[in-house]
Structure 1
Amino acid sequence: MELGGTKAIVLRAEGNAIAEQVTIPTTSPTETLDAAANLLRRWHAQAPFDALGIASFGPLRLDHAAADFGRMLPTPKPGWSGADIFGALAGAIDCPAAIDTDVDGAALAEARWGVGADDPALADGLCYLTIGTGVGGGFLSRDRPLHGAMHPEVGHIVTRRAPGDPFPGICPFHGDCIEGLVSGPALAARFGMPGDRIAPDDPRWDHVAHDIAQLVGTILLTTSARCVLIGGGVGMGRAALLDRVRTKVVAQLAGYLPHVDEASIGRIVRAPALGERAGPLGAVALALEALDAAGPLPSA
């Protein structure tokens, strides 16, 4: 299951081939998770699952030793703080299960079947950014998602603002952190209408490109990522915005990183190879991770 801030996608797959998927609106935790759990039970009764992968928006508690493992931590999404994501879904069926952030799942999928399959050198040191209802980042190091005290929360990094940009941001925690500046709801507040109704050549995109480039530059400087994929509803489908971001990343870094220049930036900052399939396939990748961790299946 891929649980997003606007919609949830429940799917079943064989390998990385999706056999069936159902979209559920993300409303309240009870309504959304109950609908998903009921669907999982019905499918599991028809053909038992080998494993379950849950790729969710965050922030999440991912420490298995914590009493609130698998629960949502304080989030701007109304009503979702404390929601027991893992318990509601993994508790519905009996099989190995794994939970991680949606961006970590998408990074794993891209490493397995996307940019990592096309260019294996990019799979280690891969960053997957999603810019949509919120802003999140998943990082792979030695083919594993990066976890520590929790998982990276790049959406709430505060970066240098563009000169002359008066937009105050909308994050209830930090105001003008990156999520407060460039997420879908932030763009609607900034423009007075949804971003998909703004012409690609509108000069107001310049401040948005500046802010995204600030985030990308911060990631390149702090994590030495080999590749930054920009997905999500805001990130995908806007080639002109991605081009602006690339140009500004090179300008903002000012030659400090010798491997980042006009010739290389197209390989380093790019759209996901899997496109919109990266999120759902991220849940599949997590299910395969759970299956690998559980060991060989018993023989029939």
Structure 2
Amino acid sequence: MARIGAVEAGGTKMVLAIGDEAGHVTEREEIPTTTPDDCVAEMVEWFRTRDVDALGIGAFGPTAVNPSDPRFGQILETPKTAWKYYDLRGAFVRGLNVPVGYDTDVNVACLGEVVFGSAKGLSNVVYVTIGTGIGAGVMVEGNLLHGMLHAEAGHIIVPRVPGDDATCVCPYHDCCFEGMAAGPAIEHRWGKKGYELADRDEVWELESTYLAEGVSTYVLCYSPQKIVLGGGVMKQEQLFPLVRQKTLKMLNGYLVTPELQDIDNYIVPAGCGGDQGILGSLELGRRALAAK
């Protein structure tokens, strides 16, 4: 069985793993995300010494994910200035000389959930991570959504909840999903991190309203068969029934489908034990090897 490498390239850490085509992870390592000069050579060497047959990378964005784009595999505009226009995929292609699959971190997490997790076997799925930021990976008819770039659905504009006078923490928008509902928005609004507010019902009542605004928009725009919610904020499991109820209320009966009638199995927690990004990257590497 082929040895597949996986990279979950995040804004604060890089998770490296070795696994097989069936999604069995046999080795794992984490290193801080510093600069390309400081960490990429180390990562390439880690995989080189483990003799991988292929590699899959899920990268923070914005990044070029369309293979026909001459910038394919590059990090694009980013506040991490050292990474701006860095050819991340190319560094691994040159260093390892193996097939390298490449997509966004949330798209590969969506792929992981479709192949191994809560959305197994489905072809139209939205995976949303709500943590330090909000990102959405989208699969449509079995293909991860790219388009002109890739979905940045964490930055959809949401209506401000009446009575909420907290400023949006997104530097680009006055009232976007990420800026109003990600972990830093919770801390900015309430003065504490989410896990310190677990027993404050008013916190999660407000948070669930913003989450339902985002989720109901995804239902209308992408028509997914399932929506998977992951990330640190969703460890507050009391959010799930609130988000389900409010999503149905916002849709107001406009859509009538078997999926929405079974809402508890439509808006669901992530099912890969936190490994959806790594497992999706393994699958991306497997597909790159198969394509070769």
Long gaps (5+) in structure 1: 295-300
Aligned to 1:245: 243
Equivalent residue runs for 1:26-175 within 5 Å:
26-43=33-50, 48-77=51-80, 79-117=82-120, 120=121, 123-175=122-174
TM-score (norm 1): 0.88
Aligned counterpart in structure 1 of residue 19 of structure 2, from 13, 17, 22: 13
The sequence identity of aligned pairs, in percent, is: 35
Aligned to 1:178: 177
AA at the equivalent of 1:65: S
How far the C-alpha of 1:126 sits from its partner, in A, is: 0.9
Which region of structure 1 is more displaced relative to structure 2, 52-61 or 133-142? 133-142
AA at the equivalent of 2:92: L
CA distance in 2 between counterparts of 1:6 and 1:243 reads 31
CA distance in 2 between counterparts of 1:285 and 1:259 reads 31
Aligned residues: 285
Distance 1:32 1:252, change over 3 A: farther
Aligned to 2:268: 270
- Report SS of the residue matched to 2:276: helix
1:35-70 C-alpha deviation (Å, 9 max, x unpaired)? 322322232xxxx21110001121211122333221
Distance 1:278 1:42, change over 3 A: same
CA distance in 2 between counterparts of 1:222 and 1:35 reads 41
- Report SS of the residue matched to 1:91: helix
Aligned to 1:190: 189
- Report SS of the residue matched to 2:42: helix
1:184-223 C-alpha deviation (Å, 9 max, x unpaired)? 2222222222212112443122222111111100000011
AA at the equivalent of 2:216: G
CA distance in 2 between counterparts of 1:134 and 1:89 reads 27
AA at the equivalent of 1:61: A
CA distance in 1 between counterparts of 2:281 and 2:159 reads 34
- Report SS of the residue matched to 1:255: coil
Distance 1:31 1:187, change over 3 A: farther
Aligned to 2:254: 256
- Report SS of the residue matched to 1:107: helix
- Report SS of the residue matched to 1:169: coil
CA distance in 2 between counterparts of 1:85 and 1:234 reads 29
Which region of structure 1 is more displaced relative to structure 2, 158-167 or 184-193? 184-193
CA distance in 1 between counterparts of 2:262 and 2:243 reads 14
Distance 1:76 1:213, change over 3 A: farther
How far the C-alpha of 1:261 sits from its partner, in A, is: 8.4
What's the C-alpha RMSD, in Å, of the aligned pairs? 1.9
- Report SS of the residue matched to 1:211: helix
Contact 1:53 1:286 in 2 (8 A): yes
Aligned to 2:4: none
1:109-130 C-alpha deviation (Å, 9 max, x unpaired)? 221122344xx3xx11111111
CA distance in 2 between counterparts of 1:188 and 1:32 reads 30
Contact 1:217 1:253 in 2 (8 A): yes
Contact 2:124 2:223 in 1 (8 A): yes
Distance 1:141 1:261, change over 3 A: closer
How far the C-alpha of 1:165 sits from its partner, in A, is: 0.8
CA distance in 1 between counterparts of 2:236 and 2:258 reads 22
CA distance in 2 between counterparts of 1:163 and 1:140 reads 33
CA distance in 2 between counterparts of 1:78 and 1:134 reads 18
CA distance in 2 between counterparts of 1:238 and 1:96 reads 39
Long gaps (5+) in structure 2: 1-6
How far the C-alpha of 1:263 sits from its partner, in A, is: 4.7
